[in-house]
Chain A
């Protein structure tokens, strides 16, 4: 039951390299909004590494060829950052994660690391081709988000690694980009998604879709990109797509999803709803 709250990244990495004094890996905590809910009524028994004092992990900044979202960036920080329309979908997700209390504390990176199938950030980051930046005493490592989240509550982060930030590449040159997020839940606030869709579409000077990236969350163990749909959309005239999403987005495009039956909805419903949400997300970004 040790507790560390280092101010220097190197100290955090050093601690992670040695493992927790209790013999298990350190439990890394930032906003702690996922930490406590799974520990209701239980005495703490794990070694906790609190990374919130490491100033190097803060900030949302434009970097070469994209943006870097520091690991301590909260959802509220993201909303209050000056970011281009590429981030509209992620910003919408930021406003849909819990209530404003959660948004002020929970980090975007933590949402990814918690690796819930219903994480609202993940499909958006998938649609943005985000790269997870990790560091350890062995050195830095960059992992595409699609490879980072490996399963329900599982990631590719090694026990000695710390997620330091998320890199989001900029849009294709010469395109106009928009993104959107469609979340489906059974109530207005504080709701775990039944299904959700993130879309980012880049439109070229000829008003054609240069690239479409569409990801679906809560309909499989890990949120998924709809690559067949993306390929089908590429090169199409954008306005035509907006008018005909019902024809263009078809059941076969969500066939690879593996939604489960649970208290929030049946698998069949999720698959059906995902199709509608994909269509609406595309209409929203292209309209």
Chain B
């Protein structure tokens, strides 16, 4: 297409660009005008991340042809800031209310909200929902976004020019427990945060993966000469044999089974077989049919049954019979316990693939710097990435540098390599910077999923309502490659019986290889699936015994002094009883309200109330899981936290700054943050397993305390002295008011991991949770501490259509200590949104739902009202008592919703999601007896 001149006004500035007329406006804004604040999540109008205002109205810029922008007025997120470049009232409100977590949807949300408030300054709640109904968020659960918009509306109506308050600015030493704004939040609301796709160095090449359309096939790649001749812009083409190091990666050192490029055989649809390197236009122009690939499709193993069938081919030599791993926990005499039970209940559960659906698809850029490689990439696990890339390139890990970008959502999906392998190899081979940004369909086809599961479980109780025995077996479809399958298989047996005490437990699990998408890490590592079973059984047993479901759970809840089925005595911070007691009045009130509704003559809908409880071990299961964090003072008097823990939107950076600042005794506003860069920060492990607050938090606390101790020693003042760091010096004032000044210029540089840092004082903290290996019966200490929680769901079911509306969730979570209550609530809201999606609508079908209009995640209109009850049963080994909440927030939601559906209409949905057709079918079957 011939380029045309397109002229329009953007953010008050006239611009003119020569572009192809059908170029997407989003690409014009980002690539031609450098307005990277506009994000691209799907290129299909499904997610709303690219929302801008055109002629005042909100539009998705990925759907606007450049030619149609001619003569228009456009506003992007960059156009919101005030004259001084500071946040607008709306942006300030987003920051203060915690409405931005990862920040990838934030520009689109802001533009939708701004368009709404401009058109309807008095927008009521319903209008706000309609106004942002076209923008998806996967982190926040939307409620804080709605709050921020409503607060801005109110302030504008009141004629207030004051910026939104709400975020705290605590004094030195008082940050823990305070609602400070995200330390990395301002660039997210301004649209200046740079995500994986926002780095475009000069002389850039792109790499395109050629992917398998078959789930299982052999293939041959023919002569590529003609392709190279036909496309002069094609700079390099490489296949499996060209991988410089070992063509194998994977999470576990002993289980690396996944090739960067398949070597003659593909094991899942979407697997990469060939890499094309060139300019973006050339790569997009090459049609699949032009590629000299001969496919020989083979019968795929479509699921667990196929894979375990007699005579099934082994997908991996190392795993005959296609069982990747088995997990087991055995405690007590189960047969006797069940046989002696007064009541027993049985359940079969089936769940399917869940897609992470972060709004930022995988993206990054690699550069070769001499004999080193640098990846600027969206990730949850920089150090694991570093080691994997080193193996692929055949170079030492220290020659790989991972620079995490702002991460537009992870949820476990960015714990595996995404774009890394091919950009690294391509940059290594060509010597030029190479970028890759996965399209949404590519992201969905190539990234790991939550494991589909098939669970059968039996539980028993005695006549007094005391739990006796629990039998559990779960099969997990781990797909073509191991990924985090072993983690799921090991974590599930520990948690399988739920947060309750049993006399005897036998819990077994298997992760099974199939030709399905690799299943890996997803918020909860298999525990959400297992919780569907144990909570259904608790409801069933309570009903058989005629006991109240909440009281039954409370009577059997693990608590301080309990011994778990792993044989671990819980010494402290086991706050499930407190959670359930906090929920008790809500339970009674909501049950009564539902009953009243259902008794209303002519009510078309039926309401119900359900409850779910959970526990979750923080950090790796019975494996080392250390974090190291450094905190330094530079010669010119800056306080820097060198923090390898990646903030993926969950707020790790903020929490760790709060903890370190209090440990040192300075205000958070004085702490600079260096985050994630493997050349500049020590290894603080991965952002997974809800571990950053507890594990890295302890490392941050120790680093701050270490630094404080050194300063006090230099200043020769007592432990209770006040520390202030300012230009060139540190002042320490003791309790009697005596001030000692340490001149930093007089100190020599001390080494920290960041060789460029020029620190003259440095504290260092390393923390590794105390665990023991589990024996063959799963006995030992798998985790140092556990999070506990319970949620109540109130739902409204339309029995004639099978639709379910979740009206309200009351969530009680024992977090040990809420370092930042706004962020804890944000995690709970977001976890509930994902739990609601898991319960009601999410189902990935390979090859069929590789977009965000067929794969449904909750919108703002699907969110219930949420009440958070934060229980702070301090963990003695936690930083200021804190544990974790990221995964725990999601786990009880689906069980509570499914229980509420049962309460409303008498049917127990055990095949997820409880989509309208399934609920309706169950109601019809129930009615038919």
Contact = CB atoms under 8 A, between A and B. Distances in A.
Contacts of B42: 40
Contacts, number: 165
Interface stretch (A98-106, A141-149, A161-169): A98-106
A41 interface: yes
B136 A190 contact: yes
Given A3-B4, A37-B44, A101 B60 contact: yes
Interface string B330-372: 0000000000000000000000000000000000000000000
A36 B43 CA distance: 7
Nearest to A194: B916
Contact of B112 (A100, A266, A277): A100
Nearest to B131: A100
A40 B851 CA distance: 10
A37 B845 CA distance: 19
B479 to A, nearest CB: 19
Given A100-B134, A104-B58, A263-B848, A187 B856 contact: yes
B134 A191 contact: no
A265 interface: yes
A192 interface: yes
Interface in A1-43: 1-3, 5, 29, 31-33, 35-37, 40-43
A5 B442 CA distance: 32
Contacts of A41: 43, 284, 439, 441-442
Contacts of B44: 36-37, 40
Contacts of A273: 801-802, 916, 920
Interface string B760-793: 0000000000000000000000000000000000
Nearest to B24: A36
Contact of B803 (A42, A100, A184, A192): A184
A96 to B, nearest CB: 10
A44 interface: yes
Contact of A187 (B46, B54, B851, B858): B858
A48 B58 CA distance: 25
B854 interface: yes
Interface in B845-897: 845, 848-849, 851, 853-854, 856, 858-862
B848 A101 contact: no
B774 to A, nearest CB: 40
B64 interface: yes
B849 A263 contact: yes
A186 interface: yes
A190 B42 CA distance: 14
A133 interface: no
A188 interface: yes
Contacts of A82: none
Interface string B111-144: 0100110000000000001110111100000000
Contacts of A188: 129, 133, 859-862
Nearest to B23: A44
B63 A40 contact: no
A263 B854 contact: yes
A189 B59 CA distance: 16
Q: Which interface residue of A269, A273, A276 has the most chain B CB atoms within 10 A?
A: A269
Nearest to B52: A101
Contact of B861 (A42, A43, A187): A187
Contacts of B916: 184, 186, 194, 265, 269, 273
B112 A44 contact: no
B841 A186 contact: yes
Contacts of A37: 43-46, 63, 851, 853
A40 B1 contact: no
A105 B68 CA distance: 11
Nearest to B71: A53
B63 A36 contact: yes
Contact of B802 (A35, A44, A48, A269): A269
Nearest to B285: A43
A19 to B, nearest CB: 17
B800 interface: yes
B841 A105 contact: no
Contacts of A104: 54, 57-59
A211 to B, nearest CB: 27
B526 to A, nearest CB: 24
Nearest to A105: B59
A272 interface: yes
Contact of A40 (B68, B439, B803): B439
Given A44-B22, A190-B134, A101 B59 contact: yes
A36 B23 CA distance: 10
B67 A50 contact: yes
A114 interface: no
A184 B920 CA distance: 13
A103 to B, nearest CB: 8
Interface in A169-220: 184, 186-192, 194
Q: Which interface residue of B44, B129, B841, B917 has the most chain A CB atoms within 10 A?
A: B917
Q: Which interface residue of B281, B439, B840, B916 has the most chain A CB atoms within 10 A?
A: B916
Contacts of B2: 3
Given A36-B63, A276-B801, 15 more contacts: A33-B60, A36-B44, A40-B851, A52-B68, A99-B133, A99-B134, A100-B115, A101-B58, A105-B64, A184-B801, A189-B133, A189-B859, A190-B46, A269-B917, A269-B920
27 contacts: A3-B2, A3-B67, A32-B65, A33-B45, A33-B63, A36-B43, A36-B45, A37-B63, A40-B441, A41-B439, A43-B281, A48-B22, A99-B133, A100-B112, A100-B131, A101-B45, A101-B63, A101-B112, A189-B134, A191-B856, A194-B917, A265-B915, A265-B917, A266-B921, A268-B921, A272-B920, A272-B924
